Amino acid sequence: MKKLLSLAMAATLAFSVAACGSSDNTANNDSAAPEASTEDTTGDSSAAEDSSAAEDGSTAAAEGGVLKIGGIGPITGGAAVYGVAVMNAANMAVDEINAAGGINGMQVEFQFEDDEHDAEKSINAYNTLKDWGMQMLMGTVTSTPCTAVVNESAKDNMFHLTPSGSAVESIAQPNAFRVCFSDPNQGVASAQYIGENDIATKVAVIYDSSDVYSSGIYEKFAAEAANQGIEIVAQGAFTADNKTDFSQQLQAAKDAGAELVFLPIYYTEASIILKQAAGMNFEPIFFGCDGLDGLLAVENFDTSLAEGVMLLTPFAADAEDELTQKFVSAYKEAYGEIPNQFAADAYDAIYIIKAAAEQAGITADMSASDMCEAMKAAMTQVTVDGLTGEGITWDAEGEPSKSPKAVKITDGVYTAM
């Protein structure tokens, strides 16, 4: 089903990609997809079809070669919701691209390695992918592992595009770019969104002081809050060693009269906070960033407690544009669930690689280092209309430029605001 779905999507789902100053490099997936048979055959005819398919694949590889893209992220452990979504969406995009003719005639091979949201394991995964023959990296998914891996990829001059590693340090090398907003940008944008939309003026913050993602967002949020007429009436920190009891932080927020509690944290801790807040009859607005995406999938969590939660995110699954609707429909059919923002980031990431590789004229016989040099230049020249933003561009530091969006959990689903 997944293969048939990808073939069908390839005929209809397209990213509008333009190289600045050159219309010849526009990515186009509107060509008709190859027909796929659903008939179940056996015996000699099946063997003949398999042989024909193998020959077709060999011919394609011989004509344009193969581009090996690696991926890294947590597909087990506490952050698996993120990594699985990234892996699934990236595979879907690769299938579509290959069905539509590949990248510069190259077929894409994609291999994803589990890092369990652990920096050391992420480096091990990177080395495994290097042994496999990786030529470009799409990863890692979470910030701390990404920060560790980017130092290794820089030594190899390997092109590195993270879909969701948001810490400033995650792309602090000249070979690295990102799809998502950086932590500082999320903090500033959150304060601006709350202030400009008059959501609240008295705000409490609960954040993880031991995590670069959480503390980085908080610092920039606090700095921008004053510019937005927001008073931070309470701030409660916790650490990785103490993240199961938030009663003190919540009581302080309640006593201070907080109208909104800002949660620049991950979904697991957020689910505990929402449960404990309900237990003490504290019902402020809760507002978070992309780390809260996955909240509705927490095991044994009463999702009614998340009703009304807001989060800043570049993707809303219920958006009415054609690109989003087709992506969500295809993802649900392939994987049986609604895609989250991390899936959208990854899907965009693969098509961003395609756009830059076509702009750069990447060929399979280039070394990984030569590919990286060409991709670095191309990334500052392309403009991509994707799921997570229209007209996305990148500066030389690897940061994207796009407009933030926000969603609200309503009736158990993420709804665009």
DSSP tag of 116: T
- Rounded CA-CA distance 11/322 in Å is 14
Q: What is the pLDDT of residue 21?
A: 36
Q: What was the pLDDT predicted at 314?
A: 84
SS3 helix, strand, coil % of the chain, rounded to 5?
45, 20, 30
From residue 255, alpha-carbon distances to 191, 238, 280 in Å are: 22, 19, 12
Q: What is the pLDDT of residue 5?
A: 40
Predicted pLDDT at 78:
87
DSSP state of 118: -
Residues of the chain with pLDDT under 50: 1-60, 62
pLDDT tens digits, residue range 208-221? Answer: 999 888 999 999 99
Structure tokens at 94: 């690769």
Check residue 22 and give its pLDDT. Answer: 36
Q: Please give the Cα distance from 279 to 31 (Å, whole number).
A: 56
The label of the residue with tokens 């100053």 reads 21
DSSP string, 40-88: ---HHHHHHHHHHHHHHHHHHHHHH-EEEEEEEE-SSSTTHHHHHHHHH
In the sheet that 176-178 helps form, which strands lie side by side, from edge to edge?
107-114, 66-73, 136-139, 159-162, 176-178
Phi and psi at 384, nearest 5°, equal: -125, 130
User: What are the φ/ψ torsions at residue 163 (nearest 5 degrees)?
Assistant: -75, -30
> In this predicted model, what pLDDT tens digit does every residue of 292-324 receive, in sequence order?
988 998 999 999 999 999 998 888 888 888 999
pLDDT for 28 equals: 35
